[in-house]
Amino acid sequence: MKYAFKIASVWGIPIELHLTFILLMAGVAVLSYPDFYLFTLILFLFVFVLVHEMAHTFVARHYHIRVRKIVLYPIGGVSEIEEIPQTPSIEWRLAIAGPLMSFAIGAVLLLANVVIQVAAPRTPIGASLATAGNLMLDLAVLNLLLGGFNLIPAFPMDGGRVFRAFLAERMKFTDATKYASYIGRLFGIGMVVFGIVFTTYFLLIIVGLFVYVGATEEAEQTIVSTNLAGVRVSDVTCAEIGAVSPETTLAEAMETMFKSRYHDTIVEKDGVYQGVVVWEELMKVKPEQQSQLRVGQMPLRKVSVFSDESVLEAQKIMSRERVSVVPVVEKKNPDKVTCVLTTEGVAASLKRAKNLR
C-alpha cells in the first residue's frame, strides 16, 4: 500500500504504519506540549489498533485464510487477506472480531478503573471536548470509540463487512458487495458534509473521504475478483516462452528472459518440469559469478496451474510467489508443461472480468 512503512512482523505477517498515522503523531506531539498527554494517548491508540487487527488475523488463521499484511491507520487498520471469504458466516466472524476485541479491552479498563485510578491532566480536544482526567477511563473510552466507530455499517469498515455478510445470505455476493458499497459511500459523503457544516469536527472530512474511496475501490476489486473466478486458464491465450535447463548458466538464463520479455522463466530437464527461476534470485548473484553458476544451483519455485483452474487462482500464485509466469501443466502428467500463463494473460482476463460487471 502507498505511503505505508513496515515497522514489524507478527506470525510472518508484515505490520505497516500508514503515513497518516505518523503525521497524526507528529501533529499531536506539537499540540500536546508541554505535558504530551494527548501524544501518550495516540501511542496507546497505536497499540490498540494493532491488537484490534491481530484479532482479525487470528480468526483468519483459524479459517486458513492467508493475511498478506496489516496496515495501521489512525481510525483503524486494514488486514489485507489473500482471499475474501464468500461464505457469509465466515466473513461476519472475521469482521466482528476486531470490534469485539476493542470492546473487551475497553470493558477490562473500565473495571480496572474501579480498582486503580491513575490521575491525568484534563486536556481539551477541540472546542467542546476534553479528556476525563483519568488515564484508565480515557483508555477505556478510546477502545470503546474504536470498536463502535468500526461497527458503523460503512463498507469497507468492519460494520460494512458484517452488513455485506448479512446481505450475502439473501442475495448474490456481487450484489451484496454493490449495496454495501453504496451504503459505505453514502456514509462517507455524510461524514464530509457534517465536517464541513460543523467545523469542530473537521477531521470527519478526512475520515469521510477515506471511507468513500475505500468503499469504491474495494467494491471494484471484489466484484472483479469474483468475476475473474469464473474465467478458466483455458480461456486465456497462453504464451510459449523459452525454457532453460538446470545446466544453463545464469548469464544464459538472463538472456532467455530478455528475449521472452519476462523476468522469470521455466526450468525443464529432458522435458520434465523442474520449477521457475526468477530474476530476483539471479540479481542476488555477483555479475562475475553469473557465467559460472548454473540454474540448478539456484532456488526454484515449483508453481503451476491446470487448464481448468480459474485465472484468479493463477493470479494469487503470481502475487504470493512474486512470479510473472505460471506454467500450465497436464493433470495426468503434472511434470509436462503445455504453455505458460503470463502477467499479460492475467491482465487481459482482468479487463474481461471488468466488462462482466
pLDDT tens string 243-268? 889 999 998 888 888 877 777 888 99
Find the mean pLDDT for residues 154-169. 86
Looking at residue 76, what is its pLDDT? 65
Reported as a pLDDT band with limits 50, 70 and 90, residue 354 is low
Best CA proximity match to 99, nearest among 165, 149, 43: 149
Best CA proximity match to 60, nearest among 148, 142, 161, 154: 161
Best CA proximity match to 276, nearest among 260, 288, 290: 260
Catalytic residue positions, numbered = 53
Looking at residue 127, what is its pLDDT? 52
Reported as a pLDDT band with limits 50, 70 and 90, residue 217 is confident
- Please, what are the domains in the chain? 4-228 (no CATH), 233-355 (3.10.580.10)
Find the mean pLDDT for residues 3-17. 81
Looking at residue 207, what is its pLDDT? 77
Digit-coded pLDDT (tens) for 325-346: 888 888 888 888 888 888 877 7
Mean residue pLDDT across the chain = 82
- pLDDT at residue 105 is higher than 90: yes
Distance set, CA 86 to CA 82, 192, 310 (Å): 12, 31, 16
Digit-coded pLDDT (tens) for 119-154: 776 766 655 566 667 788 888 988 998 899 888 888
Distance set, CA 320 to CA 27, 69, 81, 130 (Å): 37, 12, 11, 46
Looking at residue 124, what is its pLDDT? 62
59 vs 344: CA distance, rounded Å: 35
Looking at residue 131, what is its pLDDT? 66
CB 219 within 8 A of CB 181: yes
CB 132 within 8 A of CB 138: yes
Looking at residue 247, what is its pLDDT? 92
